[in-house]
Each structure stands twice: as C-alpha cells, then as structure tokens.
Amino acid sequence: MPLTSMTGFARAAGALGPWRWTVEIKCVNAKGLDLRLRLPPGFDRIEAEARTRIGKALARGACFATISASREGAATQARLDLSALDEIIAAARAAAAKAGLAPPTMDGVLAVRGVVEVVEAVDDEASFAAVCAGALESLDAAIAALVVSRRAEGAALQAILAERLDAIASLTQAADDNPARRPEAVRARLAAAVAALLESSRGFDENRLHQEGILLAAKADIREELDRLKTHVAAARALIEEGGPVGRRLDFLAQELGREANTLCAKANDVSLTAQGLELRAQIEQLREQVQNIE
C-alpha cells in the first residue's frame, strides 16, 4: 500500500431539479483525524452518514468539509387569504359609500398587509430525499478525488524519505568506518592526553590515570549508537514499504534516530566524528519534517 499525505483538496458538484450543490474538502496535517463538517439548512439528516464516509477514507488529518446548496427557479409561492380579502373589500366599500368616495381598487386592497403572503416553495419528502442522496454521491466523488490527491503527494514524499534514509545510512556507515574509532587511534589520543598531564604535574597516580583512561575510552565508544541507528533506518524502510497510515510510527522512529545522533555527538572524541554526527542530526531533522506530512 502506498504512503499517503495528510494534505489535499477536492471539489465536486451536482444538480437535481431546481437544486444545485457543491462539495469541497480540504485537509491539512494533524495528530489525529479532526473532521469539521458544514452543511446547508435542511441537510442535517445526512450529517452522520457524511461523517462516516469521510472517516472510512481518512485516518489522519484536519479535514474541513463543506456542502453548499441552493434552490433555483420558482423558490417562492404567493398565497391569497380570501376570507380577509372579502372582509376588507366589504369594509372598504361601506366606508367609501358613507364618505361619497370611489370604491376601492383591487391593487389597493391586495396591498393591505396580510391579504397576500409570499412563502418559500417546499419540496415534498421524496424529492428532497433524492437531493440529499445526490449530495452524498457528490461527497463520495470529492472523497475519491481527495484520496487520489493525497496518494500522489504521498508518492512524492516517499521518494524524499528514501533519499533522507539513504543519507542517514551512508553517514552512519561513514562514522562506523571513521579511522578515529580504531583502537590504535583511541590509544594514541589517550596516551597523548596522559603524557600532557604527567608533564604538567608529577603528582598524578599513573595507575589511576590508566584506569580512568580505560573508563573514558569505554564511555566514548559509539558502537551501541551506530547499531541502533542502523536498526532504526531498517525499521523505517520497512514501514515505508508497508505503506498505509504509518506516519505516527515513522515519527517515533525519527525521534529515536535523533536521540541516537545526539548521543553520538556527545560521545564523539574526534572532530571528524563530531562533524559526521552533526550532519546526521541535520539529515534526521529533514526526515522528521517530511514525516510530519505522512498520514
């Protein structure tokens, strides 16, 4: 299974009768799956199903999904209150006759508040259910496009991670092969340090210095760190090969690689080893930055 990025964007649209709708999904990095869904009025009935469908497709990421809908065409209806109209006409005629005025006109009567009421057109249950089903189909299309987008970016990230791991492995091997790690090189450095101390003062116990030198040599040994670095690199490569939502585990391995590189730098008793350790830390940091994007 290929690696998948946590970032992506997708859009889909649909229509049925007078209804038009648009679905947009945007994803960015997050520690877990954080789904935020916005629906238009009246579409609350599909919220649970929409969340379920998105949750099945995504394992991690902050996901912002929006469904927008509008009804076109005859969206309103006019209703005439006939009983109120009759009462108003009768009262207006009586008042006009009493005052000797012209009888009321129809446009004037219809302008009276409450005679004509404009209301929004209402779809029947079956029609609106079909609209909701269409919106869910568009959501599925957007989800599918989002998955394709995230996988394409995941493939690019996979190549970058492979390059970083190759660099880490190469630097680890270079540190392992560094001449400064050879026993004779370690003995020579310790001997030079002891000679300098003895030359500066004759109050040192040579046997004690010998013992301390052995302890310092043991503490400076980076064999354990090198072995762990190689093990973590192999484990990271296996996870990348496995694919799927492995971002959390890769992030953990990147942290462990960083710890081993820090320890190697702390133990290094040679300038060349320190330089290799610092470059290791830089490559591991770049690896971890990219891992943050993996689902």
What are the extents of the domains in the chain? 8-73+127-150, 76-120, 152-291
Who's near 244: CB < 8 A, 6+ residues apart? Answer: 1, 3, 4
pLDDT greater than 60 at residue 5 = yes
Q: How confident is the model at residue 217 (pLDDT cuts 50, 70, 90)?
A: low
Radius of gyration of the chain (CA): 38
Residue 275's CB: how many other CB atoms inside 10 A? 14
Section 113-141 average pLDDT = 84
- CA 120 to the chain's CA centroid: 41
- Per-residue pLDDT, 108: 73
Taking alpha carbons only, the member of 159, 150, 100, 122 closest to residue 42 is: 122
Q: Residue 221 and residue 239: Cα distance in Å, rounded?
A: 30
Who's near 180: CB < 8 A, 6+ residues apart? Answer: 186, 269, 270, 272, 273
Q: Residues 266-281: pLDDT tens digits?
A: 888 788 889 999 999 9
User: Which residue do the tokens 């957007």 mark?
Assistant: 142
- CA 10 to the chain's CA centroid: 14
- Per-residue pLDDT, 290: 95
Instruction: At 294, give phi and psi (nearest 5°).
Output: -85, 135
4: DSSP letter? -
Query: Are 61 and 102 within 8 A, CB to CB?
Result: no
H or E element, residue 233: helix 223-242
Who's near 229: CB < 8 A, 6+ residues apart? Answer: 168, 172, 257, 260, 261, 264, 280
CATH architecture designation of domain 8-73+127-150: 2-Layer Sandwich (3.30)
Who's near 7: CB < 8 A, 6+ residues apart? Answer: 27, 28, 29, 61, 150, 153, 293
Q: Look at the pTM and tell me if it is higher than 0.75.
A: no
Q: How confident is the model at residue 187 (pLDDT cuts 50, 70, 90)?
A: low
45 in helix, strand or coil?
Answer: helix
**Polymer length of the chain:** 295
Q: Which of 35-44, 108-117, 156-165, 181-190 has the lowest mean pLDDT?
A: 181-190
Q: Residues 22-48: pLDDT tens digits?
A: 999 999 999 999 999 999 999 999 999
Between 14 and 186, residue with greater pLDDT: 14
Between 39 and 195, residue with greater pLDDT: 39
SS3 content of the chain, % helix, strand, coil (to 5): 65, 15, 20
Q: Residue 261 and residue 247: Cα distance in Å, rounded?
A: 21
- CA 160 to the chain's CA centroid: 18
85 in helix, strand or coil?
Answer: helix
pLDDT greater than 60 at residue 216 = no
Q: Residue 292 and residue 295: Cα distance in Å, rounded?
A: 8
